[in-house]
Structure 1
Amino acid sequence: MYENKVYDAIVVGTGISGGWAAKELCENGLTTLVLERGPMVKHVEDYKTMNKDAWDFPYRGNLSREDQEKYHKQLRVGWAPRDDVKHFFVNDLEHPYQETKRFDWIRGYQVGGRSLTWGRQSYRWSDVDFEANKNEGIAVDWPVRYEDIAPWYDKVETYIGVSGEKLGIKHLPDGQFQPPMELNCVEKELQSALGSQFDDDRLLTIGRVAHITDKDPNIEGRGPCQYRNRCWRGCPFGGYFSSNSSTLPAAERTGNLTLRPNSIVYEVVYDENQKRATGVKIVDAETHEKIEFKANIVFLCASAMASVGILLQSKSKVFPNGMGNNHDQLGRNIMDHHYQLGASAKVDGHLDKYYKGRRPNGFYIPRFVNLDEKTKRKDFLRGFGYQGSASRGNWAETVAELGHGTALKEAILEPGGWEIGMTGFGEMLPYHDNRVTLSKDKKDQWGLPQLDFDVEFKENEYKMREAIKEEATAMLKAAGFRNVSTYDRETGPGLGIHEMGGARMGHDPKTSILNKHNQLHDVPNVYVTDGAFMTSANCVNPSLTYMAFTARAANHAAQQFKQHKFS
């Protein structure tokens, strides 16, 4: 490690986007320094809970009261962190942030980032999404269309392994799929009801998920999913895609990768004479030493809000308000997806049927509103989809105070009845005043300003949330299920863990931060390819789109570098 060495490229972050940037840059022959603010996590070797069972933990996986205080904001998500995976989530006492309005910022600071704990749902965008802002006069137009990204979706899906079913619908393009996982009997019953009871072409399919299902996948270093559903602990088989099992090892095999954990990047260095970035400054997370690393290209992939924070801190005479921020666009138009609302029901019958394994996936109901005149809603713009599953009830419900002895032993071995539920994921519009800024007086333990969130749902979002519950109820009732009930947890933006925006793409440098290649308009050797670049949100999980844009941008950067455009 030579601090005076000039690398061809620096990549900040090792998650979904950072791993892909590292892979593509290294495979294009660029010497690449990858900086991660958290500790090292080695594939398999550092998955310390991957084979443990509930009884191996002091509280059967639940957090102690002391740990609940440490993870008090991470716990807002409801399902994590637990004792088996808390080490992949940040300690909120050690990594605080400010909330002018509630924002649920769920983070993982380690090599691999949230690629170790993501939901793995992988869906393409279509031109319905890329053209929505322009057609509706919302925010700014995307500078790309589906045909620009489609080849990169192909590349990413083929490499990471996405299982799914081809549907042939325009607004959810088909991809390069491995064999789909199987729906169970109750999910098929709902699928049949949607096809017969509704006239708006709504349908149910198995989720498109980044899990290898082909027994002979021909994907280096990884094997097929074992249906353990312990994905968030780290998969020793490499069955699901993560940076640790896939892209980072690919980058390392080239011999062009240098990986430095515990490196908190806080500034992109700008040379006003050369009119380009010359590298980054870091604080060593362990020693608090400040170091500068130099490179011809910088890729910010630290996660959307962290990358925006780095740009806001990157101040100079040319950019007194943050790099690329001379028109007050940086940190604005923050978005997320609706989450933690939907409906559930009890299901009669099928008591002679069960399922094998723990399928790490559920069903998916694609968007079916505001697609054409037939499905247009007057009360809100954009749309939503659903993710859900059906299963046999928890054995615990059969245990009552009177159950003991032989009767108890027999009772706990009998599965309960079937239940089904679905959660809505809806689009949030980009609003100029939904923003993140640097706190004026609150700093972290490294002396860096904390981020302050001022983000909220507005009228369009609240009307959509009502529709999400109404339509979920209608579908479950149409299938003949009983005891249908809705839920809507109190939440703020961020809880969908799909935070995006803040450094959006666009045609005009006065209204956007990045151009169509993910380059800063004003500093073209700086690329931003995590969720910060998003100009609108769609209603599908965004990680596949991050990866496709990152692969595209990294190859563009490599071509520019080889043509000496950044010299």
Structure 2
Amino acid sequence: MNLNIKATKENTYDAIVVGSGISGGWAAKELCEKGLKTLVLERGKNVEHIKGYPTTNLNPWELDHRGWSTNESKEKHPIQSRCYAFGEDTQQFWVNDLENPYNEVKPFNWLRGYHVGGRSLMWGRQCYRLSDIDFEANAKDGYGVDWPVRYKDLAPWYTYVEKFAGISGQAEGLPQLPDSHFLPAMEMNCVEKHVAARVKEKFDDRIITIGRAAHATAALNGRGPCQYRNLCARGCPFGGYFSSNSATLPAAMQTGNMTLRPFSIVTEVLYDKETGKANGVRIMDAETKEYTEYYAKVVFLNASTLGTAWILLNSVSDAFPNGLGNGSEQVGHNLMDHHYGVGASGAIEGFGDKYYYGRRPNGIYVPRFRNISEATERPDYVRGFGYQGGAGRGRGQGGPAGVGADFKLSKTQPSEDWSFGIGSWGEHLPYYDNKVSLNHDKLDAYGLPTLDIDCEFKENEMAMRKDMRQSAVDILEAVGAKNINSYDSAPPPGHCIHEMGTARMGKDPKTSVLNGYNQMHEVPNVYITDGAFMASSACQNPSLTYMAFTARACDHAVKELKKQNL
């Protein structure tokens, strides 16, 4: 056998991080700052902070199509173009669906970006802690497996990541929504303040607060402050919001310990049967399609919930014929996404002399108020939901053609009434039969197997949606809104872009893939800290929780390395 020892040495690191999005960026920062020579592998192109945001300062008239997507663009992005953040100004950050296909056994919108920074460049930036109500839910009602952690295990790590990321918001002292370490809150506009006061008068079980967002409302670690442009999905040259590109990856690079390799598609984790550990990964170069192997003592998988599931299922060996660490047969199962697209809006009268300034990239939040105590228990469904939304005042509509002097003049005048609307985010239960699997008959542009995605919302979610819609109407009626319209647009799973599950953590290796430190039960030097590890979905936006678990897992991994346990 011809062993290329030199190449092996040159390709060996202390740690490998797969993926550079929200959790991968944090893994890179933490491992590098703890002294580990770390290779960060990203399957897409490099995007450098500021340099990589070509449209960030363009006015609408400076874009060829004024920001609208062309038919040609939609043909390349039939799935991605369904996302609210997709447009002519952002399409460079979304995958080409023709080159990266997947198979919808049931309708599922897989919205993603393959580039350095991943979806941390395009995310909605809402950041909320989970509470013990969330961590205890599975054990209480029997859906899924019990989380091996509780809020007290995560609380210091939430604080740790919040101090670096920068979360603006208002403390409310709610047991179902623990307060974060906050930067100054963004201000609600006059109608939002009015509605919040009315809700406080009319309800004793719900409040309206300003959204908790990863926006630096004051300068933080050389980033920000936010400029209230609301052009976040183009990439922010001010570092006004948290992203891997503006925050964690520069911190990792500053240590001198990070090697970043874009265009690196990880096809499998390499497993050594003799040691019972992973010894590295195999990658395909996305440009040359050549294979290379890299080696490390510890591997962090942060390729996204579905990306990580794909890697695990494709990492087959004599020891793991059904995928790496899949003795439990849980890999790829228990896929979740928040269900949303339900809410109501109406007109608020009496503020005709008021307007607002700037484009605040944030809204209001109504924390969960169902199934958090005996008094709030529902007989028709378990778990709960929260609302996001806000108030605004448009401009006159002018002539029906949308052209001419009358139309232009109308745009100088505000519309008669303000509008106020809220939309809900609901918890999706972990069902074993919501799953992904590899399809070796349908290949992507790289000749690799694609994912079959078989996921749906079931009876509990459908019952919750009825309450989500009616409760939105109840709130608007209580605050005196006029011309109330409710809706349920029924988007499929995936559309909320909060995929979770597929490699859940738990106490028992027979029913879970990871332990309470995000460490694989069967392959102890592999950690998974993207959304794949989630044992339940709660109803809060999950990215802040990924950050906290990632920092905690990195701390654990380095301590285990020092003890020579890995």
Shorter-chain-normalised TM-score: which range?
Answer: over 0.9
Give the equivalent residue in structure 1 for 2:63: 57
Give the equivalent residue in structure 1 for 2:445: 445
Rounded Cα–Cα distance in structure 1 between residues aligned with 2:280 and 2:266: 10
Rounded Cα–Cα distance in structure 1 between residues aligned with 2:290 and 2:401: 60
Which amino acid is the alignment partner of residue 410 of structure 2?
Answer: A
Query: Are the aligned partners of 1:330 and 1:503 in contact in 2 as well (CA < 8 Å)?
Result: yes
| 1:375 Cα offset (Å) | 0.8
Rounded Cα–Cα distance in structure 1 between residues aligned with 2:495 and 2:310: 19
Q: Deviations over 1:243-270 (max 9, x none)?
A: 0000000000000000000000010000
Query: Are the aligned partners of 1:130 and 1:146 in contact in 2 as well (CA < 8 Å)?
Result: yes
Identity of counterpart residues, as a percentage? 57
Give the equivalent residue in structure 1 for 2:296: 295
Rounded Cα–Cα distance in structure 1 between residues aligned with 2:535 and 2:408: 56
| 1:440 Cα offset (Å) | 3.5
Provide the secondary structure at the position in 2 that maps to 1:327: coil
1:206 aligns with 2:204: no
Q: Deviations over 1:302-335 (max 9, x none)?
A: 1111001100001010000000112211111000
Rounded Cα–Cα distance in structure 2 between residues aligned with 1:441 and 1:178: 51
Residue 30 (structure 1) aligned to one of 10, 29, 36: 36
Give the equivalent residue in structure 1 for 2:146: 141
1:535 aligns with 2:541: no
Q: Deviations over 1:263-297 (max 9, x none)?
A: 00010000001110000000000000011101110
Query: Are the aligned partners of 2:340 and 2:490 in contact in 1 as well (CA < 8 Å)?
Result: no
| 1:394 Cα offset (Å) | 3.8
Question: Which has the higher mean CA deviation after the structures are superposed, 63-72 or 254-263?
Answer: 63-72
Question: Which has the higher mean CA deviation after the structures are superposed, 415-424 or 39-48?
Answer: 415-424
Provide the secondary structure at the position in 2 that maps to 1:17: helix
| 1:38 Cα offset (Å) | 0.4
| 1:185 Cα offset (Å) | 1.1
Which amino acid is the alignment partner of residue 231 of structure 1?
Answer: C
Which amino acid is the alignment partner of residue 415 of structure 1?
Answer: P
Rounded Cα–Cα distance in structure 2 between residues aligned with 1:426 and 1:412: 37
Which amino acid is the alignment partner of residue 383 of structure 1?
Answer: G
Q: Gapped runs of 5+ residues in structure 2? A: 1-5
1:120 aligns with 2:125: yes
Give the equivalent residue in structure 1 for 2:81: 75
Give the equivalent residue in structure 1 for 2:107: 102
Rounded Cα–Cα distance in structure 1 between residues aligned with 2:474 and 2:80: 33
Question: Which has the higher mean CA deviation after the structures are superposed, 532-541 or 185-194?
Answer: 185-194
Rounded Cα–Cα distance in structure 2 between residues aligned with 1:328 and 1:89: 32
1:166 aligns with 2:167: no
Provide the secondary structure at the position in 2 that maps to 1:486: strand
Query: Are the aligned partners of 2:85 and 2:122 in contact in 1 as well (CA < 8 Å)?
Result: no
Give the equivalent residue in structure 2 for 1:129: 134
Rounded Cα–Cα distance in structure 2 between residues aligned with 1:356 and 1:85: 25
Rounded Cα–Cα distance in structure 2 between residues aligned with 1:440 and 1:402: 51
Give the equivalent residue in structure 1 for 2:3: none
| 1:413 Cα offset (Å) | 0.6
CA 1:31–1:353 in 2, change beyond 3 Å: closer, same or farther?
A: same
Rounded Cα–Cα distance in structure 1 between residues aligned with 2:492 and 2:407: 43
| 1:401 Cα offset (Å) | 5.3
Which amino acid is the alignment partner of residue 69 of structure 1?
Answer: E
Provide the secondary structure at the position in 2 that maps to 1:398: coil
| 1:403 Cα offset (Å) | 8.2
CA 1:230–1:403 in 2, change beyond 3 Å: closer, same or farther?
A: closer
Query: Are the aligned partners of 1:85 and 1:232 in contact in 2 as well (CA < 8 Å)?
Result: yes
Query: Are the aligned partners of 1:399 and 1:412 in contact in 2 as well (CA < 8 Å)?
Result: no
Rounded Cα–Cα distance in structure 2 between residues aligned with 1:49 and 1:296: 40
Rounded Cα–Cα distance in structure 1 between residues aligned with 2:495 and 2:403: 40
Which amino acid is the alignment partner of residue 101 of structure 1?
Answer: K
Give the equivalent residue in structure 2 for 1:180: 185
Query: Are the aligned partners of 2:157 and 2:552 in contact in 1 as well (CA < 8 Å)?
Result: yes
Give the equivalent residue in structure 2 for 1:411: 410
Q: Deviations over 1:407-460 (max 9, x none)?
A: 544322112131111110000000011101001311112121101101100000
Rounded Cα–Cα distance in structure 1 between residues aligned with 2:369 and 2:249: 38
| 1:82 Cα offset (Å) | 0.3
Query: Are the aligned partners of 1:221 and 1:245 in contact in 2 as well (CA < 8 Å)?
Result: no
CA 1:402–1:147 in 2, change beyond 3 Å: closer, same or farther?
A: closer
Give the equivalent residue in structure 2 for 1:490: 490
When the two chains are superposed, the root-mean-square deviation of aligned CA atoms in Å is: 1.3
Q: Deviations over 1:350-386 (max 9, x none)?
A: 1111111100000000000111111111011000000
1:258 aligns with 2:262: no
Give the equivalent residue in structure 2 for 1:350: 351
Query: Are the aligned partners of 1:3 and 1:291 in contact in 2 as well (CA < 8 Å)?
Result: no
Rounded Cα–Cα distance in structure 2 between residues aligned with 1:193 and 1:408: 36
Query: Are the aligned partners of 2:507 and 2:515 in contact in 1 as well (CA < 8 Å)?
Result: yes
Q: Deviations over 1:54-93 (max 9, x none)?
A: 112222211111111111111223x131000001111111
TM-score by structure 1 length? 0.97
Rounded Cα–Cα distance in structure 1 between residues aligned with 2:34 and 2:413: 57
Query: Are the aligned partners of 2:196 and 2:209 in contact in 1 as well (CA < 8 Å)?
Result: yes
Rounded Cα–Cα distance in structure 2 between residues aligned with 1:86 and 1:354: 32
Provide the secondary structure at the position in 1 that maps to 2:198: helix
Provide the secondary structure at the position in 2 that maps to 1:81: coil
| 1:162 Cα offset (Å) | 0.3
Rounded Cα–Cα distance in structure 1 between residues aligned with 2:69 and 2:404: 29
CA 1:197–1:258 in 2, change beyond 3 Å: closer, same or farther?
A: same
Provide the secondary structure at the position in 1 that maps to 2:461: helix
Rounded Cα–Cα distance in structure 1 between residues aligned with 2:395 and 2:546: 37
Give the equivalent residue in structure 2 for 1:17: 23
Query: Are the aligned partners of 1:329 and 1:513 in contact in 2 as well (CA < 8 Å)?
Result: yes
Provide the secondary structure at the position in 2 that maps to 1:281: strand
Which amino acid is the alignment partner of residue 411 of structure 2?
Answer: I
| 1:3 Cα offset (Å) | 5.2
| 1:404 Cα offset (Å) | 4.6
| 1:341 Cα offset (Å) | 1.7
Query: Are the aligned partners of 1:4 and 1:293 in contact in 2 as well (CA < 8 Å)?
Result: no
Provide the secondary structure at the position in 2 that maps to 1:334: coil
1:242 aligns with 2:226: no
Rounded Cα–Cα distance in structure 1 between residues aligned with 2:328 and 2:378: 35
Rounded Cα–Cα distance in structure 1 between residues aligned with 2:491 and 2:352: 36
| 1:137 Cα offset (Å) | 1.4
